[in-house]
Amino acid sequence: MILDKVDTPTDLKKLTISEMETLANEMRELIIKKVNTTGGHMGPNLGIVEATIALHYVFNSPEDKIVFDVSHQCYPHKMLTGRKEGFTNPELYNKYTGYTAPEESAHDIFKVGHTSTSVSLAVGLAKARDLKGGKENIIALIGDGSLSGGEALEGLDNAAVLGSNIIILVNDNDMSIAENHGGLYKNLQDLKESDGKCDCNFFKTLGFDYYYVGEGNNIEKLIETFKKVKDTNHPVIIHMHTLKGKGLPIAEENKEAFHWILPGTLDKKDEAPSTTEDYCSITTDYILKKAEKDQSIIAISPATPGAYGFTPEFRQKLGRQYLDVGIAEEHAIAAASAMAKYGAKPILAILSSFVQRTYDQLSQDLCLNNSPATILVHWGAISNADATHLGSFDIPLISNIPNIIYLAPTCKEEYLKMLDWSVEQNDYPVAIRVPFGNLISTGEEDLTDYSKINKFKMVEKGSEVAILGLGNFFHLGKQVKEALKKDLNINATLINPKFITGIDEEMLDELKANHKVVITLEDGILNGGFGEKIARFYGNSDMKVLNFGGYKEFTDRTPLEVLYQRYHLTTELIVQDIKNVL
Amino acid sequence: MILDKVDTPTDLKKLTISEMETLANEMRELIIKKVNTTGGHMGPNLGIVEATIALHYVFNSPEDKIVFDVSHQCYPHKMLTGRKEGFTNPELYNKYTGYTAPEESAHDIFKVGHTSTSVSLAVGLAKARDLKGGKENIIALIGDGSLSGGEALEGLDNAAVLGSNIIILVNDNDMSIAENHGGLYKNLQDLKESDGKCDCNFFKTLGFDYYYVGEGNNIEKLIETFKKVKDTNHPVIIHMHTLKGKGLPIAEENKEAFHWILPGTLDKKDEAPSTTEDYCSITTDYILKKAEKDQSIIAISPATPGAYGFTPEFRQKLGRQYLDVGIAEEHAIAAASAMAKYGAKPILAILSSFVQRTYDQLSQDLCLNNSPATILVHWGAISNADATHLGSFDIPLISNIPNIIYLAPTCKEEYLKMLDWSVEQNDYPVAIRVPFGNLISTGEEDLTDYSKINKFKMVEKGSEVAILGLGNFFHLGKQVKEALKKDLNINATLINPKFITGIDEEMLDELKANHKVVITLEDGILNGGFGEKIARFYGNSDMKVLNFGGYKEFTDRTPLEVLYQRYHLTTELIVQDIKNVL
């Protein structure tokens, strides 16, 4: 293999074009095998192999700095910068993260996982270089839908007037995660169709020097262009047209499905679609039924429809009652607020990790205007996710904003009842923390009137110890109750708070009569969260309060068992902690 | 006066052009007099008088919806929509807010005060209209620097593909709050110089139908263009060139200084610049001295330099060591992170109310990468501000993000010591909550080593009651201590926590020996804040904890005395609450 000879980018510089083309094919095969084994970003990485080779051939990383946007396209880069064993040796498949990681290599400048950040980060590097009198090239590699994010657009606007070297490589693969949305992508289309020559050029209007590479998977053409702009003294855009999923026919044809895949996807025979219910399927079923009857219902997603079960079929059925705004979370929340204000019924789905991209819009556009939009927050949980995609910060983020009602259902029935209440009411912005994990159904219809806000549900009245099990962790609370009975013969009180954004003062006051300890369980960090509010409430009383939840830290692919031990989130450890204060 | 005849926009439609021109002059005089009396946005409102008249002449508000960006340019709109008494009658000068307010009038669609939101809000209204089958015009009025904000750019990208009626009026007055920054504004300049005709047209690249009005203060020309686009079936941009401060020569010449003025500014004779020290002046003094010695120091502001004392002279002295990124807070934080990562020493100043525009960048670009940038958070305090500009949310927002150190100085000496420590260290992202209000100097040099993080300062050791007075409220804590001595003969412990992001567990543990009550005082909302963490810490003990701070609510120009009463933030009320638990 040619790859055997390449340990660092320097080795690459000795190869011929033809050898590099062979290398590209070798790398692609390894990526396909590895990603199909571990899961991960397939299409984006297959499309960027040639550009990565050409970049490292022409530029001198790590002196020249390459900043990867989202950094989900960094697999070829990792293979060429001392980490190929993570792709050649199946035993080391999990050694390296799927994103750039400075702790792994000097060739990785930032830890990145959210989109649209690369241009601003590159501008910062370039400015620091200029202050220090350096001459190195600063390169941002952005694409795959990220251009439409506000941070990227702010970055482009500023990069254009930097007045010194910065090279922004736009990887245009015709796609976001799903299809692209927005006027900008129409302009990219016009540019591609005119071989980069049409008068109407978004990048030129901002003041960039613009280069177009139509054959973005042609190493020779890429090298030619990169050489032209190397050591430029002004801001440059290289717009290259690549093929997402290149070399894997099924990925080339199914770009959305093969953006990110689960392990073993390529080995699966044609299967009938799953008929098992989950929180995504019951959501889409609900929306489809509701939308048929009510033309003002509209489902909104900011660019990651797959994560919410918003399949192509679902989108097609909804027609104009579905809106994907592309990667533009700020716009999504503001627009949803306005829709709700003007009588439509928006249901916006977003991941916990991405809802934090839109704090100001939640606060100012949505909550200050008290618009009755519905926001579904998915994947809110302590998990073994990458540090860039943790779902444990949404409770502090959302629940400390005035006016919004943030709800934590514990099962299918509660979730659907809350969702329907939210859609039909006109008094509050509502967010619902969609339960994480397998669907739990009690089979009992939820008859709660959620317009009576901040009413916790007393599930079982006991004494001595009261357990407030929030959302995902209600079930842990049930287990703790059972263990307390078994181990200490305590008949504990079990409460399902349901409301994250307020406190049932009446119920909590009543607990004072015959309880010594209240414990809170929440599936997120403790700092700024639900439990601390309970601790504050009881601060002037004799009640002991123990808060269980995560620490304020960026964990990175840490196994869940390790986290649960660290945070005392097992029945055994919780009972032990309760014993200590009884 | 012509204005006497105008109570609603309908009355306007009966006027001749010449009468409307007279009306414009009348309105301008009233605005000058009113704003000079109460303080407020002078330049922006003087520039938009004609456009507002023309809008209401051509369109039918409130059926047609006008969304004001920032809404600091809404004074003429208020005068024409039933609220002119707020400008004609000095006794009613404070009756209406300086921003659009739906509770005041059906002509105000949203409560708005942050920039760059209007396009997304208008897109949402338009989409709701389309779902409901309506035909009304939806208009966004944006300008005065707001275009460069990420939310506005996301909004434009999406508005361009709406496929139905939306009219975006770009008020180009050559200015942001200070001068404009970014490639986009160069394009606006090219467009102005070519009378809207140059090939390179930012708006057209996104797909908008584009109209240019060079004489943006000419009512007749404006009416002509508005009539052309009224009831359009597709997205339209009208780019109009107006004169900021029009009609007030000193405001026309000093656009930055007259963007927003204090009461009585026009009556002041030429005065020597103030020589009184304040937290802004000691900051700029520090930066200037430091920057002279260290070329890697760089001061950054996202478009509101005046609020931090970053005067034109300061900016000029710093030269390339100063960077205003325009209204682009997300870019500012990300770029500052990269600068710090690459060896520069960025000091970024931002208002508490605006730091919330950049949560994800603080979390992902800055803190996850642990970049040692310095962020100065100004105006963080409970105040009588408009609901859109409250400074009471920054503690929950910033302090629950991992890695960052958020510091709360209580006087000049601590502030400068913290600032210098932050600039010189390489271990943490640091934010400093710049004290709010008059400068307090103890005269004693602060010798603290802030690299020993989370060490609170024991100011005076006592017993029974311990007072944790954070930042601005340390001085309130001192008063409470004195009152406790006087009223109850309690020799209370007084602690200056200094660190908002961590807890001095050792010191808090020691308090258990001879204290019954710990109280916390913080100048911001309680929810998710500092005090709740202290309550959580003591949850497993017998210590009583009382948290004092603001409620989770959007207050709106509520007098500070009222808020302090409501929140029990007076010495008397605090002492009473302490009595109740002793």
| Residue where one domain finishes, among candidates B433, B449, B469 | B433
Contact A111 B330 (CB under 8 A): no
Helix A219-229 × helix A49-58 angle, to 10°: 40
Torsion angles phi and psi, residue A329, rounded to 5: -65, -35
Helix and strand numbers, DSSP H then E, in chain A: 24, 18
What's the confidence (pLDDT) of residue B468? 98
A546 contacts in B (CB within 8 Å)? 539-540
Note whether A141 and A202 are same-domain residues.
yes
Question: Residue for token digits 């939009």?
Answer: A373
Dist. CA A478–CA A482, nearest whole Å: 6
Please check whether residue B126 is in contact with residue B138, taking contact to mean a CB–CB distance below 8 angstroms.
yes
| Residue where one domain finishes, among candidates B433, B468, B483 | B433
Torsion angles phi and psi, residue B272, rounded to 5: -65, 145
| Residue where one domain finishes, among candidates A418, A433, A448 | A433
Torsion angles phi and psi, residue B276, rounded to 5: -70, 135
Assign A308 to helix, strand or coil.
helix
> Could you give the maximum distance between any two Cα atoms of chain A, in Å?
82
Assign A55 to helix, strand or coil.
helix
Q: Edge-to-edge strands of the sheet including B457-460?
A: B457-460, B493-496, B464-469, B515-525, B544-550
Intervals of chain B under pLDDT 50: none
Dist. CA B582–CA A537, nearest whole Å: 17
Dist. CA A463–CA A515, nearest whole Å: 5
Structure tokens at A52: 């990565």
Question: Residue for token digits 């629940």?
Answer: A399
Dist. CA B364–CA B270, nearest whole Å: 47
Q: Which of B121, B181, B363 faces A334 most closely, judged by CB atoms?
A: B121
A360 contacts in B (CB within 8 Å)? 114, 151, 356-359
* A264 occurs within a structural domain: no
B347 contacts in A (CB within 8 Å)? none
- In A, minimum Cα distance to B328 occurs at A154
Intervals of chain A under pLDDT 70: 176-178, 270-273
Assign A400 to helix, strand or coil.
coil
Note whether A248 and A295 are same-domain residues.
no
Note whether A401 and A489 are same-domain residues.
no
- Within a 13 Å sphere around the CA of A163, how many CA atoms are in the beta-carbon half? 7
Alpha helices in B75-172 (DSSP H): 75-80, 85-88, 118-132, 150-159
Secondary structure element (H or E) that encloses residue B396, with its range? helix B394-399
CATH of the domain at B481: 3.40.50.920
Structure tokens at A211: 């280069």
Please check whether residue B417 is in contact with residue B378, taking contact to mean a CB–CB distance below 8 angstroms.
no
Dist. CA B119–CA A196, nearest whole Å: 29
Q: What is the DSSP string of A178-229?
A: SB--SHHHHHHHHHHHTTT--S--HHHHHT-EEEEES-TT-HHHHHHHHHHH
* A450 occurs within a structural domain: no
Please check whether residue A210 is in contact with residue A204, taking contact to mean a CB–CB distance below 8 angstroms.
yes
Please check whether residue B48 is in contact with residue B24, taking contact to mean a CB–CB distance below 8 angstroms.
no
* A551 min Cα distance to partner chain B (Å): 9
CA distances from B421 to A409, B48, B413 (A): 46, 46, 12
Give the total residue count for chain B: 582
Contact A323 B529 (CB under 8 A): no
Please state the domain count of chain B.
3
* A275 min Cα distance to partner chain B (Å): 32
Torsion angles phi and psi, residue B41, rounded to 5: -80, 110
What's the confidence (pLDDT) of residue A188? 94
Note whether A210 and A84 are same-domain residues.
yes
What's the Rg (C-alpha) of chain B? Answer: 26
Dist. CA A223–CA A207, nearest whole Å: 24
- Within a 13 Å sphere around the CA of A119, how many CA atoms are in the beta-carbon half? 31
A94-124 pLDDT, tens digit each: 999 999 999 999 999 999 999 999 999 999 9
* B440 occurs within a structural domain: no
What b/e sequence results for B143-157 when a residue is b if at least 16 CB atoms lie within 10 Å of its CB, and e otherwise? bbbbbbbbbbbbbbb
Terminal Cα distance for chain B, rounded: 66
* A527 min Cα distance to partner chain B (Å): 6
* B20 min Cα distance to partner chain A (Å): 32
What's the confidence (pLDDT) of residue B238? 98
Dist. CA B213–CA B221, nearest whole Å: 7
CA distances from A162 to B203, B291, B299 (A): 22, 20, 16
Torsion angles phi and psi, residue A33, rounded to 5: -65, -45
B518-556 pLDDT, tens digit each: 999 999 999 999 999 999 999 999 999 999 999 999 999
Note whether A530 and A491 are same-domain residues.
yes
Note whether A428 and A463 are same-domain residues.
no
Contact B186 A161 (CB under 8 A): yes
* B173 min Cα distance to partner chain A (Å): 18
Alpha helices in A378-471 (DSSP H): 394-399, 412-424
Q: How many pairs of residues across A and B have Cβ atoms under 8 Å apart? A: 402
Beta-bridge partner residues of A239: A170, A212
* A250 min Cα distance to partner chain B (Å): 30
B83-135 pLDDT, tens digit each: 999 999 999 999 999 999 999 999 999 999 999 999 999 999 999 999 999 99
* B215 min Cα distance to partner chain A (Å): 23
Assign B141 to helix, strand or coil.
strand
Please check whether residue B544 is in contact with residue A536, taking contact to mean a CB–CB distance below 8 angstroms.
no
Note whether B405 and B516 are same-domain residues.
no
B429 contacts in A (CB within 8 Å)? none
Closest CA to A434 of A489, A390, A388, A376: A376
Dist. CA A267–CA B469, nearest whole Å: 62
Note whether B125 and B202 are same-domain residues.
yes
Assign B65 to helix, strand or coil.
strand
A150-194 pLDDT, tens digit each: 999 999 999 999 999 999 999 999 876 667 788 999 999 999 999
Which of A109, A117, A120, A508 is the best mutation test for B, with the most CBs of B within 10 A?
A120
CA distances from B301 to A128, A336, B278, B308, B531 (A): 16, 30, 19, 9, 30
Dist. CA B270–CA B275, nearest whole Å: 15
Note whether A503 and A577 are same-domain residues.
yes
What's the confidence (pLDDT) of residue B104? 97
* B99 occurs within a structural domain: yes
Reported in sequence order, the residue ranges of A296-356 that DSSP labels E, i.e. its strands, are 297-301, 322-324, 345-351
Torsion angles phi and psi, residue B577, rounded to 5: -65, -35
A356 contacts in B (CB within 8 Å)? 359-360, 363
A428 contacts in B (CB within 8 Å)? none
Contact A544 B540 (CB under 8 A): yes
CATH of the domain at A301: 3.40.50.970
Q: How many CB atoms lie within 10 A of CB A435?
A: 25
Contact B127 A344 (CB under 8 A): yes
Note whether B98 and B42 are same-domain residues.
yes
Which of A129, A137, A154 is the best mutation test for B, with the most CBs of B within 10 A?
A154
Dist. CA A457–CA A459, nearest whole Å: 6
Q: Which of A182, A208, A532 faces B535 most closely, judged by CB atoms?
A: A532
Terminal Cα distance for chain A, rounded: 66
* A186 occurs within a structural domain: yes
Q: Which of A328, A360, A539 faces B547 most closely, judged by CB atoms?
A: A539
Q: How many CB atoms lie within 10 A of CB A408?
A: 32
Q: Which domain holds residue B330?
A: 279-433
Note whether B463 and B545 are same-domain residues.
yes
Note whether B423 and B477 are same-domain residues.
no
* B257 occurs within a structural domain: no
* A528 occurs within a structural domain: yes
Please check whether residue B89 is in contact with residue B38, taking contact to mean a CB–CB distance below 8 angstroms.
no
Q: What is the dihedral of CA A6, A10, A16, A19, to 10 degrees?
A: 20
* B125 occurs within a structural domain: yes
